[in-house]
Amino acid sequence: MKSDKITARLRKIVESFSGLTVAVLADLVADEFVFGEISRVSREAPVLILKHRERTVLPGGGANAINNLADLGVKVLPVGVVGEDEAGDALIDMFKRKRIPLDGIVRDKTWRTVTKTRILAGMTHTSRQQVVRIDHEPENDFSSQAKRKLEQAAQAYLGRSKALLISDYGYGAATPELVKRLKRTRAVPLVLDSRYRLLEYSGVTAATPNEPEVENALRVEIGNDWAKLRWAANEVMARMKLDSLLITRGRDGMVVKLGNEVVDIPIYGSDQVVDVTGAGDTVIATFTAALAAGADAVDAAHLANYAGGMVVMKRGTATVSGPELLHALETSAPVRRKH
């Protein structure tokens, strides 16, 4: 009976997503997937020759978090910077197709849109294997004018939103300094995903690092030590002055800390994943939407766990929709591990 009540509560949260508005301050990335069919081995070097078959460009990085929020049914207000280049055009076009507002996206002619190109190889009717990734990154910071427009858009959107999702991949759109200024604007949940400088965002509401990011921030190795994991969660919470913390652990699921409670949630679905690309973006999007809907961190984490478990079974940079979440709730009750 207890699990039925939890499921019903989670269902109501998901059903409320369509009435929410969430702002996103993000490093916008284009994820490019180039697939080639294995033809033969080159005579020039011991490498495969691939016959080009298809090319796909999808929202990546913070743009993937935006895309996930939109597919969950949330009205999303993105704030970020793209260049006046092909990758920037592709991201803008994708947002247009989903009717995502573009007023907060700054086009900067001095900036190169971050693009991550994954080369995939395979045979006809076989699985595709990533063989190399090429990252195209800007060599300079974006302009001071772009920074001013970015902050103005973030301030304006924050006043219209139930939460702010911060996606910091280290490319300069989301910074600890800017977030400190935004915190004074309006008291809404500020939910953080920061790849390299987690502890610098002290005072945000919640954070969703993965376990390696926590290990790097604290300079500790957690492994399978539950006591050390609890200590790490307590340490991050204290240093960042968080209300809640969600640590993703790959095939080991996730841990959420709220107050003195630490809840261990096993992975939803199979641990034989297809592709982990962008899974963290799906997790923070779902977690943020649930917090914006009024959920506590434990319920928000359960929903994020469903979403994360589903998205890693999809190939490439993918999303999870509201109906998919509801279907998962119908077929599997939320569970937690005991320690």
Which residues are identified as catalytic?
281
CA distances from 219 to 53, 70, 134, 240 (A): 44, 36, 28, 16
| Pairing status of strand 105-108 against strand 190-194 | unpaired
CA distances from 176 to 9, 33, 197, 322 (A): 34, 31, 9, 31
Beta bridge partners of 52: 36
CA distances from 175 to 99, 179, 196, 201, 235 (A): 27, 6, 11, 8, 22
H/E run at residue 177: helix 176-183
Calpha distance 276→268 (Å, rounded): 14
Task: Write phi, then psi, for 17 (nearest 5 degrees).
Answer: -60, -35
